Amino acid sequence: MAAEAQEKKVKEEKKPKASAAVSAEAPKAAPPAAPPAPRVPADPRLRVLKKFHGKFLPKGILRDRFQAIMQRWNSGGNHGGVTVEELKSVLDGWKARHAKPQPRPPKA
């Protein structure tokens, strides 16, 4: 068995490497690459929507508004016509609700 394995190795070494010949020919035969197509800009609504991931919205008006927007968002192809302004208004409301209160001025 060992002799057969050695014979196979010798035969493989004697064979010309086809992959080396193909790789040498490939750059010559390849046509010039076309410039990549320009990327489509990302949907601006996604930037605002991503800010809600992991946020806790307690029961109330903000949660109801956000749930209504998300139902429209998941409804169809154009995301139910949800606008950036709607998403920003909910985000601004959330930020205002979670803002730290202003410290009281010291008594004089």
Which residues, including other chains, have CB under 8 Å from residue 66's CB and lie 6 or more apart?
52, 57, 90
pTM of the complete model: 0.55
pLDDT for residue 19? 57
The residue with tokens 């390849």 is 30
Mean pLDDT by 10 residues, the chain (108 residues): 68 61 57 80 88 84 91 87 92 87 82
3-class secondary structure, 67: helix
Contact by Cβ (8 Å): 82, 72: yes
Q: How far apart are CA 18 and CA 24, in angstroms?
A: 10
Q: Which two tokens stand for residue 83?
A: 């606008």
